[in-house]
Amino acid sequence: MTADTFTQFPVLSLLLWLPLVGTLLCLVGYKSPQAGRWLALGTTTVVFALSLLLAFSLERSAGWMLFEDYSWIEPFGIRYTLGMDGISLLLIVLTAFLQLVAVLISWDQEKSPGLFFALILILETGIIGVFLALDLVLFYLFWELMLIPMFFLIGVWGYKRRVYAAVKFFLFTLGGSLCLLLAVISLFLLHGEQTGTYTFALEALKQTDLSFGQEMLFYLCFMAAFAIKVPLFPFHSWLPDAHTEAPVAGSVDLAGLLMKTGVYGMIRFAFPLFPSAAEKSLPILAVLALIGLFYAAWIAYLQTDIKRIVAYSSISHLGFVILGLAAWNQTAWEGSLLLMINHGVTTGALFVIIAMIQRRTGTREISQLGGLWKSQPNMSAFFLLFCMASLGLPGLANFAGEILILIGTFKSHAVWAAIAVAGVLFSAMYMLRMVQETIWGPCCEPFDKQDLISREWLILIPLAVLVVWLGCYPQPILDPLREPISLLLRQGGQP
């Protein structure tokens, strides 16, 4: 199965539309809940297998590993172009894996499971589409497509304040993406005027020479959409609500994937399209990232709901990722992407464990939890492992990314890195407080004393192995990243 056999067969489109086929089947099999579950599991496993196959069989190259380009809406120059390079390959593998985990963890979903799993699969299509699309309109389409299933996932299957959280999430992201649409269209028109050819292709739009004011304006519009999604400091208030109210599958996807689409958007679209504006905005980006890093950590320290603590911790980690991007050099960017993938795995695992805790004790309030180690040692052991990974213990997942970011940032801006290092301390404080309140201390009385069941073992073991493996030997993740990042950085102007 050499790489060239892939070029004839449109494997990217297959990868993209497979989940949608799964959705249709789920909806068809709406009557029996069993059908929905197994179909979803089947589809996600096939997508995961396909992504792994791609990951292993394609050779690493700077440009696009796979590229597909068909004309779509001719009059407006909108083309159906999909491209996969090292970065999007890894993010797609992460997506496929986390969706599989999401399906497995919400296995005993009793409230209209057919629809629930259909929404998860639509979400998967949306996310994979975002990571593959190279035509701005196609990208925008998938960017919006992601929004709708997540809105329903939070709004229908969430917890108490789900409607509030869903609407807030929807309005925030929609506001951002409207700015994005505005910028895309005006860029399209501007490009058309200058060069005569009206197209939305990313490569073509890079050539439009904009005055500084225009470039800054477009850059801000793009960044508004992506900063809200990341979320960067001032726009983050939707995340804690969305996370705490979302069902476990929703929060795994939200934390694991949706936040990554924001960062991916920055790297793929915002920075290459407007390099000089990007360079000017780096200090502001770094300052916002640092504020977000500390601010979220301080707030997480006093939260009483463990899911909310993990939500704030993801804001803090994404602040770290953005700091890496702002340092604008090879090591920092590789660190950021590595931390993104590690964070996806660890936070996804944390949410899975929190769901298990909630299923056993019926609550997520820190005051009512305690001493879970006595009744559920195995689960608590996994919980301890994932918390340690999340607070950046060396040898586990997040540390590898964080140390690379720190090294990269120290080379270009020593002060930023020194400040960021203090952030790592605060992440330890709130994580340890959470661990202390849930598994150590006097025992609360969980009404379901049972430790992990076989299905839960099936989810947790791969996650734990991945967390340890990403921490100890992240080279296989860093190799495909190296060339695409150097390519993006060279386009960005600075070495």
Partner 1 sequence: MILLLTLTLLLPLLGGIINACFGNHLPKPMPVIVANGAVIGSFLACLGCLSSASGDGLRVTLFTWLSSGSFQADVGLLLDPLAAIMALMVTGVASLIHLYAAGYMQDDSDQTRFFALLNLFVFAMLTIVLADNLLLMFLGWEGVGFCSYGLIGFWYRNTENAAAGRKAFIVTRIGDLFFTVGLLWLFALFGTIGIEAINGQVAGLDPTTITIISLLLLGGACGKSAQLPLMTWLPDAMAGPTPVSALIHAATMVTAGVYLLCRMFPLVSLSPIAMGVIALVGVLTALYAATCALAQREIKRVLAYSTMSQVGYMFLAVGVGSVSAAMFHLLTHAFFKSLLFMAAGCVINLAGHENDIYLMGGMRQRSKLVAGLFMVGLLCLAGAPLTGGFFSKDLILATAFAKGDLFHQAIYVIGIVTAGITSLYSFRLGYLVFAGDFRGEELPDDLPGLMKWPLLPLALFGLFGGLLNLPHLFGGYSWLSGWLNTDTDVLHLSLNSEYLLSGTAVGVFVFGWLIAHLRYRKFVRRESGLISAFLLAGWQFDAFYDRLLIRPFRGLCRFCWQGVEVGLVDGLIEGFARTCISWGQALRKMTNGQISNYLQGFIWGLLLIMGWFLLRAVA
List interacting residues with partner 1 (CB under 8 A): 168, 234, 236-237, 295, 298-299, 301-303, 329-331, 334-335, 371, 373-374, 377, 381, 388, 393-395, 399-400, 403-404, 406-408, 410-411, 414, 417-418, 421-422, 424-425, 428-429, 432-433, 436, 439-443, 472-475, 478, 482
Whether residue 366 contacts residue 434, with contact meaning beta carbons closer than 8 Å, is answered with: yes
Q: DSSP secondary-structure letter at 74?
A: T
Between 217 and 428, name the residue whose CB sits nearer to partner 1.
428
CB of 301 to partner 1, least distance (A): 5
- Of 56, 93, 124, nearest to 466 (Cα)? 93
Please report how close the Cβ of residue 93 comes to partner 1 at its closest, in angstroms.
Answer: 19
Instruction: Kindly state the smallest distance separating residue 88's Cβ from partner 1, in Å.
Output: 19
Distances in whole angstroms, Cα of residue 301 to Cα of each of 270, 296, 307, 426, 440: 33, 9, 13, 8, 17
The DSSP secondary structure of 30-70, one letter per residue, reads TS-HHHHHHHHHHHHHHHHHHHHHHHHHSPP-SS-SEEEEE
Quickly count: other Cβ atoms within 10 Å of residue 181's Cβ: 17
Q: Which is nearer to partner 1, 205 or 299 (CB)?
A: 299
347, 317 Cβ separation under 8 angstroms: yes
Q: What is the dihedral of CA 259, 322, 422, 486, to 10 degrees?
A: 120
Nearer to partner 1, 168 or 268 (CB): 168
Amino acid at 195: T
CB-based contacts of 473, cutoff 8 Å, min separation 6: none
Beta-strand ranges (E) seen in 74-115 are: 78-84
Q: Smallest distance from the beta carbon of 440 to partner 1, in angstroms? A: 4
Contacts for 115 with CB less than 8 Å, ≥ 6 apart = 26, 27, 30, 36
Q: From the CB of 223, what's the least distance to partner 1, in Å? A: 18
Given a contact cutoff of 8 angstroms between Cβ atoms, the answer to whether 440 and 432 are in contact is: no
Cβ nearer to partner 1, comparing 15 with 400: 400
Backbone angles phi, psi at 78, to 5 degrees: -95, 125
Query: Which of 18, 340 has the CB closer to partner 1?
Result: 340
**How close are the terminal C-alpha atoms of the chain, in Å?**
37
Q: What's the CA gap between 147 and 170, in Å, rounded?
A: 7
Interhelix angle for 414-438 vs 275-302, to 10°?
A: 30
SS3 of 142, please?
A: helix
Instruction: Decide whether 237 or 491 has the Cβ nearer to partner 1.
Output: 237
Q: Cβ distance 481 to 87 under 8 Å?
A: yes
Q: Measured from the CB of residue 375, what is the shortest distance to partner 1 in angstroms?
A: 13
Nearer to partner 1, 226 or 399 (CB): 399
* C-beta closer to partner 1: residue 216 or 393: 393
